[in-house]
Amino acid sequence: MERTFVMVKPDGVQRGLVGEIISRLERKGLKIVAIKMLKITEEMAKRHYEEHKSKQFFSSLVSYITSGPVVAMVVEGNNAVKVVRKLVGATNPSEAEPGTIRGDFGLDVGRNVVHASDSLASAEREIGLFFTPDEILSYEREVDRWIYER
């Protein structure tokens, strides 16, 4: 099982889409093993988006992600990174397929509702930024035998 990081961004929280996003992840069969609502500090935002540090939009990205509460999650499942990225859709909502989160709820790349790790390495780094190991649970679900062939 893989674990990946998902964050409902301030626009998703303000628009009341947290439940919808969680519901889509769970309906797919993914398991939420950690979740919390928080307001990201500027320092944390800079660490989270450090790969964009040299880009022109970095300061506006930091300003935006710290502008309101977010919901951070660790999501688990087979091929979780790839599956979540497919559910989330393209970064630019105008290029995202209908039926994806961004395709259904986004109009602007700067307000694209949700963040999802793009690789296992990113997932590990981002999970470590937002969660301590003791905040991440391991548990069995009876429904998993109906989701995964064993």
Mapped to the 3 state alphabet, what secondary structure does 8-28 carry? ECHHHHHCCCHHHHHHHHHHH
**Quick one: pLDDT band at residue 31, thresholds 50, 70, 90?**
very high
Catalytic option among 3, 9, 115, 126: 115
| Strands 31-38, 114-116: pairing kind | unpaired
Under 8 Å between Cβ of 126 and 73: no
Task: Give the DSSP H/E element, type plus range, for residue 97.
Answer: none
Q: Is 115 a catalytic residue?
A: yes
Query: Using one digit for the tens of pLDDT, what is the confidence trace for 91-139?
Result: 999 999 999 999 999 999 989 999 999 999 999 999 999 999 999 999 9
Domain ranges of the chain: 2-139
- The CATH code for residues 2-139 is 3.30.70.141
Share of the chain above pLDDT 70, in %: 100
Q: How far apart are CA 3 and CA 11, in angstroms?
A: 24
Q: How far apart are CA 24 and CA 16, in angstroms?
A: 14
Please, what is the end-to-end C-alpha distance for the chain in angstroms? 13
Q: What is the pTM of this model?
A: 0.94
